[in-house]
Amino acid sequence: MILTVLGANGPYPSAGGACSGYLLSSDSGETKLLLDCGSGVLARLAELCPVSELSAVVLSHLHYDHMSDILPMQYQLDFEREAPLKVFCPATPARQRSLLGGRLDLYPMRDAAVGEMKLEFLPVNHPVETYAVRISCDGATMVYTGDTNRCPALSLFADGAALLLADAGLSEADWTDEKPHLNPRLCAELAKEARVGALVLTHLSPRYDAEALLDEARPVFPDVRLAEAGLRLRV
């Protein structure tokens, strides 16, 4: 399974960047899953994969930095895809959910198989209905935390994964228990507790120095790197 980062910023993109979006492809290339579709992701996706080849989309939650580009995608589907596109998404908030229609075939966040990939979902700790996603394919597993603060169930959910893609939306100095995101050190502690193979920090705010975020995580979990558009990893 191959992970390609399309965008890694939040809650808004950096200059020339994009918000959350990740393309997962099976080794055979037969199954392609788009994980989140924030601002700037659709253009990056077009460089790698036509929407006609997508097997499904997963929206971890319905904040705009994770779903805004699925709105213009609905126009694109009218011209470039015959079959409806399967989209796994939360039921709330209702206002954002009501924007999803047309050729999108909406599915609840329940464990499912998409082609060669097995998907599992876990509700996490964010102000709106949000899910972590565990994806297994080609004998490997990765876990995406979605947006979350500390969530005790995440450690077991991510246990043994080859790769953990984790929300590092706040610096350690800015983090509190009441905030909606993890910080790099907490991501590293989660990676260590879950015994994952590697950690990738994402949902990176343009207001932070990226290297400083890495420095917060490395003392706890050395095998850590930053997500950035164009990063391609074998899971």
The closest alpha carbon to 136, from 165, 114, 168, belongs to: 114
Q: Which two structure tokens, joined as six digits, stand for 8?
A: 């890694």
SS3 150: coil
Of the candidates 81, 22, 79, 35, the residue with the CA atom closest to the CA atom of residue 229? 22
Predicted pLDDT at 144: 99
| Domain regions of the chain by residue span | 2-234
> What pTM was computed for the model?
0.97
Closest CA to 60 of 95, 96, 14: 96
Return the pLDDT at 115.
98
Q: Which of 234, 135, 124, 130 is nearest to 186 (CA)?
A: 124
- The Cα 85–Cα 64 span in angstroms is 19
Beta strands 198-202 and 163-167 are: parallel
Strand, coil or helix: what is 80?
Answer: helix
Instruction: Dig out the tokens for 130 from the structure.
Output: 């949000």
Q: What distance, in Å, lies between the first and last C-alpha atoms of the chain?
A: 6
Which CATH fold topology does 2-234 show? Metallo-beta-lactamase; Chain A (3.60.15)
Q: How confident is the model at residue 227, as a pLDDT?
A: 98
On whether the CB atoms of residues 228 and 8 are closer than 8 A, the answer is yes
pLDDT in tens, the chain (235 residues): 999 999 999 999 999 999 999 999 999 999 999 999 999 999 999 999 999 999 999 999 999 999 999 999 999 999 999 999 999 999 999 999 999 999 999 999 999 999 999 999 999 999 999 999 999 999 999 999 999 999 999 999 999 999 999 999 999 999 999 999 999 999 999 999 999 999 999 999 999 999 999 999 999 999 999 999 999 999 9
Token pair for 210: 């990226």
